Amino acid sequence: MTSYLTRRLAYAIVTFFGITIAIFILIHAVPGDPVSMYAARYGPRSLSRAVLQEIRHRHHLDRPLIMQYGWWLRGVLSLDFGPSVMDGVPVIERIGQRLPNTILLNAVSLLLAAVVGIPMGIFGAAGKRRGGSASSATFLLLYSLPTFWVALLLMRTFSVDHQWLPLYGMTSDDYLLLSPAARIGDRLLHMVLPVVTLTLGQLAMFARFSRASVEEVIGQDYIIAARARGVAPGSLLWQHALRNALIPLITLFGLTVPYLISGSVIVERIFQWDGIGRLYIISILTRDYPTVLGLTVVTAVMTLMASVGADLLYAFADPRIRLDGSADAS
């Protein structure tokens, strides 16, 4: 167990440095250097050559690449991505302000997707002989829905045609005039459509994963042995199989994090939800590279932490790893 833990953590540290190197290479693969780009933004002749050289020197851009990487890495490790080009506010502060909004949206939809999707998968596996391919096709159907199309159709139905739910934003215009109870209601109403959109995207993943997991366990010797002893099919599934079939779902929670972040970009852009996904799109549109880089680092590290966390939890939950420690960490 201890050897598994240390190895997994050591790999994570290697991957972290890999992430920083990959991002650093990506920045430098872009044609043109940042200083000339700034100069171009403020007019081609506004800054003299000497001034440009001075700016390059001050930001270490005239040093060898390996030293530039060192400086950059030091910034990353102290969470200092510099000020945003847009408003001069430190990038990490801008991310920090919006991250809770994204987490709120995703936590709720992840929970909903799990609560609905896992039973769907279990029943799909249990009813396989009867309508197995039908449930498989249903999952694929959900899986193939483009997020932004679903969002548009939901908006048209519930906000334009019927005006039951707000079209977009996080709060209504008169939010500050509302009573505290009404404020909570207002926020909840604004959450409904984005949450439903995100949940539909996640649902199929949970259903497919849990179905595959249950099917795999059902094929194992101990289940066949239990069936041979005459254990009723219902108790076979819910008591014998399920306990072991649900353990791999822990890894799914780790695996979904990058999908959640990708989904947030689209959903937050459509519903104008003020989270990091919307910030990312705005930063790319305004060429606010410090924010783009900061968000790329932060989301990659979040994904890495989720995957390591899920692996460690899995190791605690699965006695085969907990007790012998020889499981492959890759």
Residues contributing to the site for other proteins (CB under 8 A): 11, 14-15, 18-19, 22, 26, 30-31, 133, 136-137, 140-141, 143-149, 152-153, 155-156, 160, 257-259, 261-262, 265-266, 269-270, 280-281, 284-285, 292, 295-296, 299-301, 303-304, 307, 330
Q: What is the DSSP string of 120-149?
A: HHHHHHHTHHHHHHHHHHHHHHHHTS-HHH
Residue 47 CA to residue 38 CA, distance in Å, equals 10
Residue 102 Cβ vs other proteins, minimum distance, rounded to whole Å: 12
Q: Which of 226/284 has CB closer to other proteins?
A: 284
Question: What distance lies between CA 72 and its chain's CA centroid?
Answer: 25
Q: Which of 49/161 has CB closer to other proteins?
A: 161
Q: Which of 175/258 has CB closer to other proteins?
A: 258
Q: What is the DSSP string of 148-181?
A: HHHHHHHHIIIIIIS--S-SSSSS-TTGGGS-HH
Q: Which of 47/329 has CB closer to other proteins?
A: 329
Q: Which of 72/175 has CB closer to other proteins?
A: 72
173 phi/psi in degrees, rounded to 5: -65, -35
Q: Which of 146/319 has CB closer to other proteins?
A: 146
Residue 225 Cβ vs other proteins, minimum distance, rounded to whole Å: 20
Residue 141 Cβ vs other proteins, minimum distance, rounded to whole Å: 6
Residue 25 CA to residue 34 CA, distance in Å, equals 14
Residue 168 Cβ vs other proteins, minimum distance, rounded to whole Å: 10
Residue 297 CA to residue 6 CA, distance in Å, equals 24
Residue 317 to residues 3, 41, 248, Cα–Cα distance (Å): 16, 55, 9
Residue 110 CA to residue 117 CA, distance in Å, equals 10
Residue 304 Cβ vs other proteins, minimum distance, rounded to whole Å: 5
83 phi/psi in degrees, rounded to 5: -80, 155
Residue 173 Cβ vs other proteins, minimum distance, rounded to whole Å: 19
